[in-house]
Chain A
């Protein structure tokens, strides 16, 4: 049975990097230490809250992008 390789390794690489970035921005303590207690508004939102919202948005976007790219790969391979 032939092994079918992904037609788009670059896209897979981007997704892996983005997932790694998700882990870094969510977990790296210096980032949340920097946000500690900051109420200065960024886009009208207190900075500490903005940090968590930005992290959440980054993770959400990465997963949707991963799914779209994955579906594209499948379409190309079909």
Chain B
């Protein structure tokens, strides 16, 4: 235990040391919420990865590859498509962010649709949908600390220890805001995905050499993909990948990465840096899981496959390093979440209706993060049997942001009536279907409730766009927004701050 917990403590201290060395006083809320739009491509790439791939990649998706085999590769497909969308969104979103001083996803909705109330709706959907995932992330640390204690700690005690550690880590997230998140993501990302990737390659070699587990020796069932006749339905994988790729940019903590870069160039370069890392890490993790299906202990406890194989292959030191990798991934995801939601509380909810000075906004964001950390920590220590179902349901809900978000960015005709009505009806459709059919739609051929919600959402949005055309004044306002993007194409012409527009 001294070795495993010692390695964790050493890594935790290193992260805190890096953060302490980089402490600065934020001059404005923009500094606090988006790090002053000051980060280059390498920081952006690691920050994206560290927020995108949580610690549960090693537990939940590791387990999926052990039990379901090649089907688990869907997570890699949609993760890569999400990076493609980063490249596509980079120019319009960064330019609007810089020109109009946008700090949150809700700010972009408000700007595009000329309504401050839509900022509230987007923020509420984001926060409510994200909370179950935040709690799940904290609970996942229970697996980590139980494994590090070599089974000495009970699972409930391990969850409490995990929650205490991650809550302590949030002291620096609250103090330093986005700057702290991105700087720590850089170190945590290197450890989790480069260090973790190298460990995975070593473990794959060990599984092949020491355990004789190769692709050719795997059970043929490991190569099944849900198709006709499967219990999931033939369109199940499509639904997972489609909603996964679109939904990625609906999470506020992912979307805000588009505002933290120092330019369009850095964002695009970060996509080019992130994509091979995503590719190599994803392949290594999923093939590792498939090969580990030949390890009986891993099959018996698939959620712990990462720890079990590391322990068997390299003893306590490798087990400790496996813990460090998972802790690095978990910290990055959790602090990104809490920072984004704190900024939304201050900017999109309180600041949307009360005029606040910059310092007051920062204080409210900090208090919000603290309260959110305490709430999620408390929830994580409870036994909540419906939490995972709620988290899955939340995903079907949050993707309803995608229609007004993506179409709003690339299509001038969309209007606020369509955005409001589409989002709300799409959300209600998704929740209604989930409640009525409990997650498996008998008529869906594997399509999830979120897909049907998206169809309703799209139909309403497009119908409103054609049936309720913009007034001349609104058309001029929207055209002006798109002119700002055209005028600053590729960031080669400096982005001129336009000032925050008045909202209805």
Chain B residues, CB < 8 A from A27: 238, 241-242
- SS class, residues of chain B in contact with chain A: helix
CB within 8 Å of A: which B368-393 residues: none
Q: Are A29's CB and B220's CB within 8 A?
A: no
**B269 — which chain A residues lie within 8 A by C-beta?**
67
A35 to chain B, nearest CB (A): 6
Interface size class of B (residues with CB under 8 A): 35 or more
Q: Are A37 and B220 in contact (CB under 8 A)?
A: yes
Given the known interface contacts A49-B215, A64-B276, A67-B271, the answer about A26 and B234 at a Cβ–Cβ threshold of 8 Å is no
Stretch at the interface among B6-14, B51-59, B83-91, B105-113: B83-91
Contact A63 B84 (CB under 8 A): yes
Residues from chain B with a CB closer than 8 A to the CB of A41 are 216
B490 and A35 contacting across the interface, CB-CB below 8 Å: no
- Asked whether A59 lies within 8 Å of B70 as measured between CB atoms, the reply is no
Task: Determine whether A1 belongs to the interface, using a CB cutoff of 8 Å to chain B.
Answer: yes
A45 to B225, CA, bound (A): 16
Chain A residue numbers with a CB within 8 Å of B237 are 29, 32
Count chain A CB atoms within 10 A of each CB in B220, B225, B234, B489 and give the residue with the most.
Answer: B225
- Complex Cα spacing A8 to B347, Å: 40
Cα–Cα distance between A1 and B227 once the two chains are bound (Å): 55
Cβ of B223 within 8 Å of any chain A Cβ, yes or no, is yes
Q: Counting chain B CB atoms within 10 Å of each CB, which of A22, A23, A39, A56 scores highest?
A: A56
Within B69-86, the residues touching A (CB, 8 Å) are 70, 73, 76-78, 80-81, 83-84
B487 at the interface (CB under 8 A from A): yes
Q: Mark B273-299, 1 if CB is under 8 A from A, else 0.
A: 001101100110000000000000000
Q: Is the CB of B225 within 8 A of A56?
A: no
* A53 contact set on B, CB distance < 8 A: 283
Contact of B225 among A6, A36, A63, A68 (CB under 8 A): A36
Instruction: Tell me whether B492 and A60 are in contact (CB under 8 A).
Output: no
A52–B80 touching, CB < 8 Å: no
- Chain B residues with CB below 8 A from A60, complex form: 80, 275-276, 278-279
Please report B residues at the A interface, Cβ cutoff 8 Å.
70, 73, 76-78, 80-81, 83-84, 87-88, 215-216, 220, 223-228, 234-235, 237-238, 241-242, 265, 268-269, 271-272, 275-276, 278-279, 282-283, 486-487, 489-490, 492-493
Given contacts A22-B80, A63-B271, 4 further A-B contacts (CB under 8 A): A4-B492, A6-B489, A52-B77, A67-B269
